[in-house]
Amino acid sequence: MGLPISCLRISDIDSCRQSCYCIADDTMTKRPPPPSITAGGNPLAKMKRSCSPDTVITSYMKPNQPSAINLSTYNPDDEPTFGINDLVYDKSIDVPTILKPLLDSTAFQRLRGIKQLGPTELLYPGATHTRFAHCLGTFYVASSFLSALRKRYPDKISGVDQLCVCIAALYHDIGHGPLSHLFEHVWEQNHYHHEDMSIRLFDHVMDELKREKAPLMEYLSEVDLEFIREAIRPPKSDPNGNWIMKGRPEEKAFLYEFVNNTKSGLDVDKMDYILRDSKHCNFGTRFQLSALDRIIKHTYINEQNGRTELQFHSKVSSDIRALYEDRERLHQCVYRHRTVIAVEYELQEALRLAGPHFMVPGKDGTLVALKDATKDVEAFLKLDDYIITMISNSPNPALKPAIEVLNRIRKRQLMPSVAVIKLTRNEINERDLRRYLEERLPSIAAKCRFIACSFHGGLGVGNDPMSRIKFICRNGEAQITANEWQHSVWWYVFIDYATSKESDVDFESITNVLKSFCKTKNIKAAVSPLYKRNEDIENDNPDF
C-alpha cells in the first residue's frame, strides 16, 4: 500500500515552514539592553549575599554531575541581540543571538502553525495569534522581570540564572499539540500533557543542535539544563517541605516562580496570555501594560529560613488581583464560551474518529497513527493545526466519519445549547442529573450532552490566589491580602447535533426539568435558558 496523501502533505510542508522565519531586524548587531524599570530602595532588610553577580553556583550539584566551574561568565547586557517586532508590547523584542538556534529549530518553528486559542477564532475572528507569538511574549516578560531584578539584586541573580529562566519561558509551550489545549483531552488514556512534552522537545532540540548550540553551551552546564526543565514543569513539592529541586538551591527558590508558578499562579506565562488574548479578541481587561510595568517595578526578593520568594509592594495588590479576575472573565466569555465549547466538542470527536486511520511519519519513517503520535517525538513534530485541513481533504474512506463531523463545523451546524446551570460550588453529579432527566424525558435524555466548566483565579474552585502572595506595607512588614473569591461552576447542557434535529427537541421542557432537579436536590443554582424561540431570532444578532 502506498503512502497516504495525508502523510505526504504533512511532511512536504515541513521544509516550507522552515523558510518562513522572519524577524524585524536580522542585522545581528550588538544593541543596548532593553529599557527596564528599576525601583528605588528596597523596603526589606538587606539580605545575606549568597554569591557574586555572575558566579555559576556549584554547591548544590550532585557528585556525579559535571561541574560548571569552568564555564564562561554570561552577562546579558554584553550579548549581541536581534529584534522581533511584537504587536502586544508595541516594540521590538530583543533576543540574544546565542538563542537563535533554539528559535530556528523545527520544534519551535512548528508553533507558527498552532493557534494560541484553538478554534476560538470561530467566535472571535481576531483570535488567530499563535503559540509562537505567545512564547516570544512570555520570553519578553521574563526578560523584563529578570533584568530589572538583577540590577537591584546582583548578588541574588546571575546572568546564567536570567538566561535559564528566559529559555524556559521561550520553550514553556513548545509541547502543545494541534489546536492547543484541546488536543490534550482527546486521548486522555495516553496521559499526554503539553508541559511534559515541552521537556521532551527541549531535550530533543538540544540533542539535535550539536554544532549550533556550542555558543550557548559555553555558559550552560547540565545542572542549568535541569533547572530549565524544572522551571517548565516543576516537580511536585515534598509534603514535608524539603527542597527537592536539583537545578537551583533554596537560596534561589524564587527563580521557580517566574515561568510556572505552582504556588500562586502569578507568572509571566499568565501575564502574556491575558494581555495577548484580550488584545486579539478585543476583550476589555483591567490588567494592562501599565499594570505589568508597575508590578515589575515593585517586585522584591525576600529570604526566610534560607529559602527565597518573590514579594510585592502593597500598592500593586489591585493590579495583581485584576490579573486573576481577568483570567476568570476570559474563561467565562472567551475560552469557555458556549459556542467555543460546542466547536471543541465536535473537533475532539473528529480527531477521535480519525485517530486510528490518519497516519503520520514517525521515527525512521515508520507510520504512526494520529492517536499514538504523542508517543513518537518525530511524529508529534509533524502535527499542527493543518491536520484538520488534511483530514478534511483526505481520500481515505476510513476517515469519512471524521470528515462528516468537520463538514458540520464548517457549515456551523453545531450542538445547540439548551441551558446553563450556574453554581458557586459544584454540587451536581452528572450521573444523577442524567438519571433524573431520563425518568422525565426518556426520549431526549440520551441526546443531551453535559459539560461542566469551573471559573476561578487559577488555583481551582475554593482557593483564593491572593492568599498565596505576600505584600509589603510601607512599614516594611509583609502581609497577606486575602478576600473572599467568588468562584463559580457552570454546567452547560447541549443537544447532540448528530443524533437529533433542533426542531424535534422541546428546549423549554428540558430547562424546566433542570430547574426541578436543582429544587429537588436543594441545590442553590441559577438555571438560565440559552435557546431562542423562532420569533425571537428575527431581529436578533446570534453568536457567530
Question: Using one digit for the tens of pLDDT, what is the confidence trace for 513-533?
Answer: 999 999 999 999 999 999 864
> Average pLDDT of the chain?
86
Mean pLDDT of 54-81: 59
Does 544 score more than 90 pLDDT?
no
Find cell 429537588 and name the residue.
520
pLDDT at 7: 42
Q: Which residues have C-beta within 8 Å of that of residue 541, sequence separation ≥ 6?
A: none
pLDDT at 506: 87
CA of residue 336 relative to chain centroid, distance: 15
Residues 244-253 have pLDDT tens digits of 999 999 999 9
* CATH T-level topology, domain 417-537: Alpha-Beta Plaits (3.30.70)
Question: In this structure, are residues 150 and 52 in contact, taking their beta carbons and an 8 Å threshold?
Answer: no
Does 537 score more than 50 pLDDT?
no
Residues 228-239 have pLDDT tens digits of 999 999 999 899
Within 331-443, strands assigned E span 359-361, 367-369, 417-423
pLDDT at 516: 96
User: Is the torsion defined by CA of 412, 414, 418, 422 positive or negative?
Assistant: negative
Q: Residue 65 — very low, low, confident or very high, per pLDDT cuts 50/70/90?
A: very low
Q: Which residues have C-beta within 8 Å of that of residue 106, sequence separation ≥ 6?
A: 14, 18, 381
Q: Rounded to an integer, what distance in angstroms lies between the CA atom of residue 359 and that of residue 367?
A: 6
Cα of first residue to Cα of last residue in the chain, in angstroms, is 43
Residues 96-147 have pLDDT tens digits of 999 999 999 999 999 999 999 999 999 999 999 999 999 999 999 999 999 9
Domain boundaries, the chain: 339-410, 417-537
Q: Rounded to an integer, what distance in angstroms lies between the CA atom of residue 410 and that of residue 282?
A: 24
pLDDT at 287: 98
pLDDT at 458: 86
Give percent of the chain with pLDDT exceeding 90: 74
Report which of 501, 499, 506, 497 is spatially closest to residue 531, judged by C-alpha positions.
506
Q: What is the dihedral of CA 59, 61, 66, 71, to 10 degrees?
A: -50
Instruction: Give percent helix, percent strand, percent coil of the chain, each to the nearest 5.
Output: 45, 10, 40
Looking at mean pLDDT, say which of 30-34, 424-428, 468-472 comes out highest.
468-472
Q: Rounded to an integer, what distance in angstroms lies between the CA atom of residue 171 and that of residue 158?
A: 20
Distances (CA, A) of 372 to 111, 184, 369: 20, 12, 5
Does 323 score more than 90 pLDDT?
yes
Distances (CA, A) of 6 to 82, 180, 361, 378: 37, 21, 10, 16
Q: Rounded to an integer, what distance in angstroms lies between the CA atom of residue 113 and that of residue 38?
A: 37
Question: In this structure, are residues 142 and 149 in contact, taking their beta carbons and an 8 Å threshold?
Answer: no
Question: In this structure, are residues 528 and 420 in contact, taking their beta carbons and an 8 Å threshold?
Answer: yes
Mean pLDDT of 259-282: 98
Q: Name the 3-class secondary structure at 472.
A: strand
Mean pLDDT of 71-91: 92
Mean pLDDT of 385-408: 98
Mean pLDDT of 531-538: 49
Q: Name the 3-class secondary structure at 301.
A: strand
Q: Residue 26 — very low, low, confident or very high, per pLDDT cuts 50/70/90?
A: very low
pLDDT at 226: 98
pLDDT at 501: 63
pLDDT at 538: 37
Question: In this structure, are residues 140 and 86 in contact, taking their beta carbons and an 8 Å threshold?
Answer: yes
Question: In this structure, are residues 27 and 83 in contact, taking their beta carbons and an 8 Å threshold?
Answer: no
pLDDT at 281: 98
Relative to beta strand 307-313, strand 470-472 is: parallel
Q: Show the cell assigned to 401.
A: 466519519
pLDDT at 47: 37
Question: In this structure, are residues 179 and 385 in contact, taking their beta carbons and an 8 Å threshold?
Answer: yes
Mean pLDDT of 373-397: 97
Q: Residue 190 — very low, low, confident or very high, per pLDDT cuts 50/70/90?
A: confident
Model-level pTM? 0.84
Does 341 score more than 70 pLDDT?
yes
Distances (CA, A) of 226 to 203, 248, 377: 10, 9, 20
Q: What is the DSSP string of 39-62?
A: -SS-SSPPPPP-S-TTPPP-TT--
pLDDT at 425: 85
Q: Rounded to an integer, what distance in angstroms lies between the CA atom of residue 153 and that of residue 175?
A: 33
Residues 209-227 have pLDDT tens digits of 989 999 999 999 999 999 9
Amino acid (one-letter) located at 252: K
Q: Residue 319 — very low, low, confident or very high, per pLDDT cuts 50/70/90?
A: very high
Report which of 405, 359, 408, 355 is spatially closest to residue 190, judged by C-alpha positions.
355
Q: Show the cell assigned to 23.
A: 524577524
Mean pLDDT of 420-442: 93
More confident residue, 476 or 314: 314
User: Is the torsion defined by CA of 332, 338, 341, 343 positive or negative?
Assistant: negative
Does 67 score more than 80 pLDDT?
no
Q: Rounded to an integer, what distance in angstroms lies between the CA atom of residue 158 and that of residue 57?
A: 9
Q: Residue 499 — very low, low, confident or very high, per pLDDT cuts 50/70/90?
A: low
Does 487 score more than 90 pLDDT?
no
Enumerate the H helices of 191-288 as residue ranges: 194-208, 214-217, 222-232, 268-281
